[in-house]
Structure 1
Amino acid sequence: MTTDSDTVVRLADYRAPAWRITHVALEFELGATSTRVTSTLRLVAQPGQPAPPLRLDGEDLELLDIALDGRTLGPGEYTLDASGLTLTAAPSACELRTTARIHPQRNTRLEGLYLSRGALFTQCEAEGFRRITWFIDRPDVSAVYDVTLIADRARFPVLLSNGDRVAAGELDGGRHFARWHDPHPKPSYLFALVAGDLARLSAPFTTMQGRTVEVNVWADRADVARCEYALGAVLRAMQWDERRFGRAYDLAVFNVVAAQDFTMGAMENKGLNIFNARYILADADTATDDDFIAIESVIGHEYFHNWSGNRVTLRDWFQLSLKEGLTVFRDQEFTADLHSRGLKRIEDARLLRSRQFVEDAGPLSHPVRPPSYREINNFYTATVYEKGAELVRMLHTLLGETGFRRGLDLYFERHDGGAATVEDLVAAMDESSGRDLTQFLHWWEQPGTPRIEAQARFDAVSGEYTLTLRQHGSDPDHPLHIPLALAFYDANGRRIDTHPEVDADYRPGLIELRQREHTLRLRGLTQPPLPAFLQGLSAPVRLDFDYAPEQLARLVQVETDPLTRWQALQQLARTAILPGAQRRVALDALLRAQSILLDDPRADAAFVAACLALPDFWDLGAQLERIDVDALWAAREATLDALAIDQTERLRERHLQLTARAAGGLEGDSASARRLRNLCLARLARVEREGERAVAQYHGANTLTDRLAALQTLLHAGFAQADEVLQDFAARHRGDALVVDRWLGALVTAPRAGTLDTVATIVRGPFWQPTNPNRVRAVLGSFVRSNVPAFHRADGAGYALFFELLPALDSINPQVASRHLALLENWRRLDDGRRRLLDAHFDALQTRLTSRDSRETLARLRGADPD
């Protein structure tokens, strides 16, 4: 499974490893500029055949020593190349010891062992361990690890690794050591170490078996006071996983560490989770309400991996959704159980439509389990994570809570300590439920977003209502197994409980589509019912039904499912914005529906805010064959202006009414009030000539949420007070890198063409830190994704700046560069002028990229097949 720049890895070519590693002993002599790594591996060849050549993966390693079964090897007994180490003759059971030198300070890729703010961290998923030592670096090779860390005590007083600490002590020359033992076999991508001058917050946790676990959250000493919320989130996650899924923690200590430089959001290394600091550090002055929810969710996600990813890991990287999709489903349920289930599903659906459906509609579309890749880092995508979670959710929908839990228990029991496949998960669900779920596996194989076409016919004479449902997917020969939630309402808004006649498996409220076409009939009606589809987003599909705008507005009133009400408003907004004969009627219906919500004092404020928000620009564009950027942007802005003008007095009244509630703490009601109040503020800025309202909110704010919303409103509306408030915000938060990221993000997303000059100034000044992924995302990522008028300027100046920066980013951190390049996934559907500009930049870029990550992304953007 090793790769190089010319290798395509294919699922069809999978072979079990020729060698197993049963035990790993690692000794690190840690230093910032130079670290010595001594690795002792106990190896066993696959039984029943002569021992094959032993091939170990390794990159950017300097070999200092190598010995086999205690005997030093000569140059002719092994071969070193840029991607690994080969021994042509090794006994079928042997012990290999290597010593390597690596250079953490030079490691800007942030893969393997690297230096960040004076501390040492690791990131080994997916293939970073080979940058630490030579190893069979694939997920289906698991071993027990013993790790000894040696370092200068003054510089690195804290030494952490996986498992439990079994020894520690002093050494000569001001050095000290710590020895860690992890009894649970794990693949190399789950290895971790941290060494630095860190402080911690701690709390005990008692598992359901009565064992005591020491829970620690570590950070820089100056930041540790902001770890309290994260520590509480860890404890909530541990308790929830026991209660909901019966999964208990299995070591004596659980360590969580915040890193300022980290490519991903976080990493689930066994017993030592390493986090991007943005998902750990939080208080009311430096984190928004959304940050707190995200921190809790990401902490839950990484902890839940202890079972769905660590105790049961992956056979190969093609099974990535098996751990990520399953664990995203689990973290979604964690948030839903602790907060608002309806709002959480709306957020899931919004993310799915604005990211994953858009990904499906472009050249980067791929199945949840891709058949091949050149660089696995490029498949940490919305399709694998978000769509993968929806596949798991569909299993939960089909089997129910009890049946799903029974299947998951069987899966964990059967594969504990091993490496599994998607088929293994579905088989456990199949066997535990007694249902045949073989057809369901097609979901992992087919790219693109399936579409369900729903057509209704009503016979007024007979009173018969016929609903025909046709599914359209990427593979006509293999229809999908789709759970479709649906309901019907009469003219009085009452749910029709009559059992329909249908040629498919049906239970109240859910039809299982297995064929290309199904027919459903209701009889004895006096008038056609109002159908409601996909309650709770029962499947990740697009559903086409010819609703009249008045029907959508009525759905908002009669439906009880929050997601269905939200979807109806989103569909109304799309009809009002996109070209079509119903635009004016849809806008009128949207105005009425939103006004009713604003006037309802009983409605949850956060739900109202979600319903008032319009679809994302790229969500709208995903439904167009050709995106006229200027026209679509103008149409969306005109709709927002029309809503603001129509609702001005309501918005002012609600902004005032919510003031006291919004001034509360971090509890749900106050956060909900802030969400709606800040939406009102932003919308009022479209009709008010001065920025006094936003200035008053800024200076009266007691949370970053309100302060940042006021700042952004002033800046994005172009109010004269924006400069003064920007300077105040910068002075207040100058020493906090994460909040500075927010400040920069507000600057680069001001939606006007001239913002490009601001971005150019930033990337050529002291705030630009290309080695820090958070800073790159805050500036370049925010600009590219969220500032349509400036990045997509017709003169191409936004593109020119982006492509000027990309090669340097690629040489520093290929994963960051590749993911930013992937933000251009919509380029083929842009208008002719912009498409020609981007095509020319792609041509020039081909010879300037050095990483496999970015070269593969560029090839896929241009339509090249990785095969």
Structure 2
Amino acid sequence: MADTQTTHAPATPPVIRREDYQPPLWLVDHIRLEFDLDAHATRVKARLSVTRAGRHDRPLRLDGDGLVPLSVAVDGKALSPADWRLDDDVLVIALPGNAHEVETEVQIAPATNTQLMGLYASGGLLCTQCEPEGFRRITFFPDRPDVLSRYDVTMRADKATYPVLLANGDPVEQGELPDGRHWARWVDPYPKPSYLFAMVAGDLACNADSFTTMSGRAVRLGIWVREEDLPRTSHAMTALKNSMAWDERVYGREYDLDVFNIVAVSDFNFGAMENKGLNIFNSRYVLADPETATDPDYDAIESVVAHEYFHNWSGDRVTCRDWFQLSLKEGFTVYRDQCFSADMGSAAVKRIEDVRTLRAAQFQEDAGPLAHPVRPESYMEISNFYTATVYNKGAELIRMIALLLGPERFRQGTDLYFERHDGQAVTCEDFVKAMEDGGGIDLGQFRLWYSQAGTPRLTVRQRYDPASGSLSITLRQTVPPTPGQPEKAPMAIPVKFALFDPATGEHGGEELVVLTRDQLEMRREGFAQAPVLSLNRGFAAPVIVEAEQSAQDLAFLAARDDDPFSRYEAMQQLMINGLLAHISGAPLESDVIIDSIRRTITDPTLDRSFVAEAVRLPSEAYLGDQMQVVDPDAIHAARERLMTGIGEALESEWRALHAECARNGFSLSADARAARKLRGVALSYLVASGAPDGAALAFGQFDRADNMTERQAALAILVNRETPERDQALAAFYRRYAGNALVVDKWFQTQALAFHPDTVEIVQALAGHADFTLANPNRARALYSAFAANQWAFNRADGKGYRMVADAIIALDKLNPQTAARLVPPLGRWRRFDGARGAMMRAELERIAATPGLSRDVLEQATKSLA
């Protein structure tokens, strides 16, 4: 029966290196699978049509993990145990000739598969997750992405328990069996790697719809959920149909099967999975209604549905040769879903959100011990490379290529990529080459973005000569050393900028230059007075900009810049500069910040959603990233003081905004969503001001809200305060939503993120709550991942937060190593903190690394964080 835990590695796991890649020795043209499904004992028969690849005499090696082999046959003849062997779970068979039919039968136990990889049980369902190496937990197979096969799948199961049987491809047959069982057969005509295999069996209801493709084919769509969740699937269905239409319009990509199904499951390590024709989703990215989902939840559902659908071409039809090429599909598809979301809503706000995510996750990754290139060179456990670098920085690389080529040539490049590599497993280099050939551009130096880790720093110096009316601009780039890469070559960095006349508020046009050397000198003429520089407009390149800009120049850009991202950036930089100066001991100079905020919130031409983004204070974690040594207490105190000052100075404006942004009746219109967002920001400043009625206003919004966005916004404000309304709101929220797992996750998460002096103790108590379990990844992340992201609480000076998270990692590793490993990086930032905190964090990492039987997943993260 299948092992409930990962196959534990030796003390020093082997390192897999990109340079050691070898093509497969055997290919599998076709695989036929037969499942006799049972939660406790599932039998899997597999018939593989194998062919020898090239001239060699090596045996067939089929990966396995925790499988119980029942029989092995070749070309219809049963083999005795002497004719095959298991080599560390790998089935080895010496085969003569070049082509054979290999049959195996194994037994697995989905109910005890807490790792949630392979075939496992979730809420009465049987479902699969095979990326990256889960298929080997289902049957013996060369489980690598460059072995592409056609799949023919038959499932048999008890009809009452599992009335719905789904798999990849299209349904071709179904029928009844004796003793209350039934069967279904699905065939996928497109070759795919084993990581894209999927099947689901269970008692599910379907939101059924259809989509007519650009060639006139009718595609049956289905979103499968528990019966009681069916009313909460309409938004996901709309997102799916919008995604299909957008991909046809923007990329010319048409869906290729007769059916497309999405299934929502409660226990899932990821957000969703793009299995060909059968996407399996974490239920949080499918289910939404105004009562239980926030506006960001609606956005996330739209984005993730689009992302997984877009993978049909950028990931399924064209896939990765090996796991080092993961960004080939993920970076490209993240870029595609970002552009889709920008087209569906506010492009300006979407860009701000994407950059904020990049800076919060990927910039930290680049600056720490786990830094790695977009195309990594080595790994111990591939699951650890589903990172912000591969996904989010990978998307920024595609965005830069699109900028350098322009829309028309970029489309030519993507068309060539899909046409050239359809049905193949390829590399990042293949993608870049298609962009070069299709777009008519040399991207030789640009390739360094794939192979060099670290976030480039762009230093900008300006010299204005009043006599000649000229401005000299010096751009200098440096790429910091990262583990294994002490020295870096100059990158090709696209830089978009404009020079504003401070008298007119106009500029002479946006320019794009590409910095390819360590330094670039530019000179621009014709200025009656020193112009104001707007740099890295639209965040054209994922770099850290270090520029000498006065508070007056930043205030000018915050009020006048016509590039929305640069306008937002100027406002944020004003706040950052003021806060960092105050943390360093200077008085808090808030007047220019308050004036800029006042201008922004009273500007009738601005979208309220943009206003809400612009006037929010930068996060405590992002402020810490700007410091050589992070001082969480000083950061928290300074930020709270500025928040209070802004609240007090603009109290009447915040009151007016809070009242004006009230809405009767829920709507997903852009205006209504923007109003809810700005109302939440106004309320946070009102409460921070210390207004006597602040807590009452927040509780009133909480109590009377007709939607989760406003209710949770008020709750998140109240949990930071020592008021009776805090406890009232928490108790009322739990009573209202007890039994709704996704909303109870919000209850746990909101408390773990609270700026409360007792957050550590609160989280400890929540870990003992009847509704808490480490077995569900969503619940574990809601409590511990949220707490670890709470810089002030997690880094409390007594080290209690570090010990608590380390204990959780050790306990969780025994159940679900992938989820446990994702909790390690916050401890890995120990070098960024003072000596006392750093020593305590390091000690916890050492304790984790010394734990007997630790998984490869956690061991790699812990040992690299200590190096």
TM-score norm. by structure 2 comes to 0.96
What aligned pairs does 1:823-838 form with structure 2 within 5 A after superposition?
823-838=826-841
CA contact (8 A) 2:232 2:288 kept: yes
CA contact (8 A) 1:314 1:322 kept: yes
- Stretch moving more, 662-671 or 317-326: 662-671
Of residues 620, 630, 635, the one that matches 1:632 is 635
Contact 2:8–2:856 (CA<8 Å) still a contact in 1? no
- 1:390 matches 2:396: yes
Give the counterpart of 1:595 among 582, 590, 598: 598
1:788-821 deviation line (CA, Å, top 9, x unaligned): 3332221112222222222110010000000011
Match of 1:226 among 225, 232, 238: 232
Q: Is the counterpart of residue 858 in structure 1 residue 862 in structure 2?
A: yes
Question: How far is the alpha carbon of 1:759 from its aligned partner?
Answer: 1.3
> 2:233 aligns to what SS in structure 1?
helix
Determine whether 1:569 maps to 2:571. Answer: yes
- Determine which of 39, 44, 47 is the counterpart of 1:37: 44
Match of 1:490 in 2: 501
Would you say 1:774 and 2:771 are equivalent positions?
Answer: no
- Whether 2:299 is the aligned partner of 1:299: answer no
Letter in 1 for 2:626: Q
**What amino acid is the match of 1:541?**
V
Matched, 1:374 2:376: no
Other-structure match for 1:502: none
Q: Does 1:844 align with 2:850?
A: no
Cα drift, residue 641 of structure 1: 1.7
Q: Is the 8 A contact 1:430 1:437 kept in 2?
A: yes
Structure 1 pair 477/694, CA: closer, same or farther in 2 (3 Å)?
closer
Rounded Cα–Cα distance in structure 2 between residues aligned with 1:348 and 1:170: 50
Give the match for residue 137 of structure 2: 131
User: Do residues 481 (structure 1) and 512 (structure 2) align?
Assistant: no
1:724 corresponds to: 728
Q: 2:70 is aligned with what amino acid?
A: L
Question: Is the deviation greater in 352-361 or in 174-183?
Answer: 352-361
User: Structure 1 residue 822 and structure 2 residue 825: aligned?
Assistant: yes
Deviation at 1:4, TM superposition (A): 5.5
Q: Deviations over 1:690-716 (max 9, x none)?
A: 421012112221101111112222222
Unaligned runs of 5+ in 1: 499-507
Tell me which of 651, 657, 666 is aligned to 1:648.
651
The correspondence for 2:701, drawn from 697, 710, 715, is 697
Aligned to 1:710: 714
Q: Deviations over 1:386-422 (max 9, x none)?
A: 1000000000000011110100000000000001111
Map of 1:683 onto structure 2: 685
Residue 277 of structure 1 deviates from its aligned partner by 0.2
Amino acid at match of 2:537: Q
Structure 1 distance, partners of 2:85, 2:40, is: 27
Deviation of the 1:477 alpha carbon: 5.7
Counterpart-to-counterpart distance in 1, 2:328 and 2:797: 42
Q: Give the drift of 1:599.
A: 1.6
Instruction: Within 5 Å, give how 1:791-802 maps onto structure 2.
Output: 791-802=794-805
Cα deviation 1:504-560 (Å, max 9, x = unaligned): xxxx52111112211111123222211111111100001111001110010112211
Equivalent in 560, 563, 580 of residue 562 of structure 2: 560
- 1:115 aligns to 2:121 (yes or no): yes
- Which residue of structure 1 aligns with residue 542 of structure 2? 540
Query: Residue deviations 1:663-717, cap 9 Å, x none?
Result: 5412111110000101111221112234210121122211011111122222222
Alignment of 1:151-170 (within 5 A): 151-170=157-176
**Residue segments in structure 2 that go unaligned for 5+ positions in a row:** 1-6, 481-485
Q: Percent identity?
A: 45
Is 2:151 the counterpart of 1:145? yes
Counterparts of residues 465-476 of structure 1 (less than 5 Å): 465-474=471-480
1:9-63 superposed Cα distances (whole Å, 9 cap, x missing partner): 101111111111100000000001110000110111113x133111111001000
1:441 & 1:856 partners in 2: Cα distance?
A: 27
Give 1:859's aligned amino acid: T
| Distance in structure 2 (CA, Å) of the matches to 1:89 and 1:7 | 28
> Who is 2:662 aligned against?
659
Q: Secondary structure at the match of 1:148?
A: strand
Answer yes or no: is the 8 Å Cα contact 1:575–1:582 preserved in 2. no
8 Å contact kept, 1:168–1:178: yes
After TM superposition, the structure 1 = structure 2 runs for residues 173-188 of structure 1, keeping only pairs within 5 Å, are 173-188=179-194
Other-structure match for 2:673:
671
Which residue identity does 1:484 align to in structure 2?
V
- Structure 1 segment 46-65 matched on structure 2, within 5 A: 46-47=53-54, 49-65=55-71
CA distance in 2, matches of 1:179, 1:19: 27
SS of match in other structure, 1:58: coil
**Which of the numbers 19, 23, 27 marks the counterpart of 1:16?**
23
Residue identity matched to 2:260: F
2:789 aligned counterpart, secondary structure:
helix
Query: Would the aligned equivalents of 1:50 and 1:92 in 2 still touch at CA under 8 Å?
Result: no
Amino acid at match of 2:16: V
Look up the SS of the partner of 1:579 in the other structure: helix
Aligned mates of 1:524, 1:625 — CA distance in 2: 40
Deviates more, 1:616-625 or 1:366-375: 616-625
Q: 1:505 corresponds to which residue? A: none
Q: Distance in 2 between matches of 1:387 and 1:267?
A: 20
Q: Secondary structure at the match of 1:52?
A: coil
Q: Which moved more, 1:683-692 or 1:236-245?
A: 683-692
**Residues 282-310 of structure 1: CA distance to partner in whole angstroms, max 9, x if unpaired?**
00001001100110000000000000000
Per the alignment, residue 523 of structure 2 pairs with: 521
Q: Offset of 1:449 from its aligned partner?
A: 0.4
- Out of 329, 348, 357, the residue aligned to residue 354 of structure 2 is 348
Q: What is the alpha-carbon distance in structure 2 between the residues aligned to residue 283 and residue 239 of structure 1? A: 24
Query: Contact 1:265–1:279 at 8 Å: present in 2 too?
Result: yes
The one-letter amino acid paired with 1:836 is A
Structure 1 position 569, deviation (Å)? 1.1
Contact 1:460 1:527 in 2 (8 A): yes
1:587 to partner: Cα distance:
2.8
Matching residue of 2:4? none
- Specify the code of the residue in structure 2 equivalent to 1:722: R
Moved more, 552-561 or 717-726: 717-726
Alignment partners' CA distance in 2, 1:227 and 1:821: 34
In structure 1, the partner of 2:767 is 763
Query: C-alpha distance in 1, partners of 2:792/2:465?
Result: 50
Q: CA deviation at 1:572?
A: 1.0
CA distance in 2, matches of 1:769, 1:34: 25
Cross-structure match for 1:74:
80
Cα distance in 2 between the residues matched to 1:366 and 1:674: 39
Aligned to 2:333: 327
Distance between the aligned counterparts of 2:467 and 2:352, measured in 1? 40
Cα distance in 1 for partners of 2:775, 2:354 equals 31
**What RMSD over aligned residues (CA atoms) do the two structures have, in Å?**
1.6
Q: State the 1:81 CA deviation.
A: 3.4
Q: Secondary structure at the match of 2:574?
A: helix
Superposed counterparts of 1:171-210, under 5 Å: 171-210=177-216
Instruction: Report deviation, 1:206.
Output: 0.4
The alpha carbon displacement at 1:133 in A equals 0.5
Q: Determine if contact 2:579/2:588 at 8 Å carries over to the other structure.
A: no
Q: For the residues of structure 2 that align with 1:582 and 1:488, how far apart are their CA atoms? A: 34
SS at match of 2:47: strand
Instruction: Note if contact 1:487-1:533 (Cα within 8 Å) is conserved in structure 2.
Output: yes
Question: CA–CA distance in 1 between the matches of 2:215 and 2:543?
Answer: 42
Q: Which amino acid aligns with 2:414?
A: L
Q: Give the CA deviation at 1:584.
A: 5.3
CA contact (8 A) 2:753 2:789 kept: no
Once residues 765 and 714 of structure 1 are traced to their aligned partners in structure 2, the CA distance between those partners, rounded to angstroms, is 21
1:137 maps to amino acid: D
Structure-1 residue corresponding to 2:483: none
Deviates more, 1:327-336 or 1:718-727: 718-727
Shift in alpha-carbon separation, 1:96–1:766, aligned structure 2, 3 A = same
Provide the C-alpha distance between the structure 2 equivalents of 1:159 and 1:224, rounded to a whole number of angstroms: 18
